[in-house]
Amino acid sequence: MTFLIDETHDAALRSWIESANGHLDFPIQNLPLGIFSSPDGRPRPGVAIGDFILDLQKIANLLPAVAARTLDGSTLNALFALPATERRALRHVLSRLLSRTEYSATIEPALLATVDCVMHPPAAIGDYTDFYVGIHHATNIGKQFRPDNPLLPNYKHIPIGYHGRASSIRVSGIDVVRPKGQRKSADEESPSYGPSRRLDYELELGVWIGRGNLLGEPISIAEAPEHIVGLCLLNDWSARDLQAWEYQPLGPFLAKNFHTTVSPWVITAEALAPYRIAQPRRAPGDPDPLPYLLDSEDQARGALAIDLEVSLTTAHMRASGLDPHRLSTGSASNMYWTIAQMVTHHSSNGCDLQPGDLLGTGTISAPDPGGYGSLMELSRGGAMPIALPGDETRTFLEDGDEIILTARAMAPGRVALGFGHAKARILPSRAS
């Protein structure tokens, strides 16, 4: 049922809101959920449609009663907790209201121009876990430290992850303050404390958890899709010099927890049903997943046809009127593990997931440099500067740089769905 394709996905479906027809991100086939505020209001639930946001509280009387009761607050946690059937019912009603002209007079007063609104996190995030399912990224990073054995023995048996910091997650547009910490390069005798010299981005997808599970009761791989509300873009900002010094023996800490950027709109699992594809076959000799991570439906439709892109602007480029420079583009199908496998493994020891929890996929890189998802890969650990417009180069991020993540779900015969963007600008470290 989670992968059901119906009339709401019809490529011929059009909205009476003209800006939605042919919109790069938010046509009527998308209908992503988010939390917004207008200049005269508090944060509240909305749906993106073309160049507008539909205020769901203003039309609650037109919506399915079960879903409507969850929309009176400033987060979507209660809506996330509903069964997928209830979210699907909401999608059907919204599609009807926004496609049939007889509803236009009723709905128009509840539309606000997106440019006049501020976006907020879609949920109160109780917990955040970041995975490492991009095998090409894992291999590229591993080669820099272990040329003869880039992937550790467990990588192809288990979806690797670490517990991140929920309190420092911010939506697109909020600046990143350059972190400080201990760093020690190979040619230094002792560590020093100061601003990161090797600040990097990571191109990821974020996974919003819906209905949770009780402590001690794992989520099976067959049931995992019913616990996934939708996706967003996620940038796991990384201080590579801090990370290199601190990560042994317990993994990432201060190198990661200073800021994480997410796109504000939740692209729902229901909207993404037509863009499901088969999980790529593992290379010859790779082990099969253990039985608790293996499901025929997940293998047949557990991957996603989503194109991901990273662009960069510098202070000089913006002052010179230069367009953002594309650093890389690649496919989400380069994930070695599916999202369902991430959810199942996370709960396999009995860990209880909650509505509004957020999972990161880890950096998604393509096999070739044109699709690498971090500067650590693109610059070969800082050894190969990247040429930018305006005669600039970069190995790692400098103050004033802005990173922009975008994505589009695409499939033959279907309207492309965008994710909006996850962008943020680097500010100098603050004085102690």
Residue 2's pLDDT is: 63
Residue 334's pLDDT is: 97
List all residues 6 or more positions away from 87 whose beta carbon is below 8 Å from its beta carbon: 67, 79, 210, 229, 268, 270
Catalytic residue set: 137
List all residues 6 or more positions away from 12 whose beta carbon is below 8 Å from its beta carbon: none
Determine what percent of the chain falls in helix, strand and coil, rounding each to the nearest 5.
25, 25, 50
Mean pLDDT by 10 residues, the chain (432 residues): 87 98 98 94 96 98 98 98 97 98 98 98 98 95 87 95 96 98 92 97 98 98 98 98 92 95 98 97 96 97 98 98 98 98 98 98 97 97 97 98 98 98 98 77
Report the C-alpha gap between 144 and 65 in whole angstroms: 55
Beta strands 417-427 and 402-409 are antiparallel
Residue 1's pLDDT is: 46
Residue 33's pLDDT is: 98
Residue 431's pLDDT is: 84
Report the C-alpha gap between 327 and 195 in whole angstroms: 24
Report the C-alpha gap between 274 and 391 in whole angstroms: 43
**CB 407 within 8 Å of CB 307:** yes
The domain 128-427 belongs to what CATH superfamily?
Fumarylacetoacetase-like, C-terminal domain (3.90.850.10)
- What is the reported pTM? 0.97
Domain with CATH 3.90.850.10 in the chain: 128-427
CATH of domain 7-119: 2.30.30.230
Residue 148's pLDDT is: 84
Residue 39's pLDDT is: 86
Domain with CATH 2.30.30.230 in the chain: 7-119
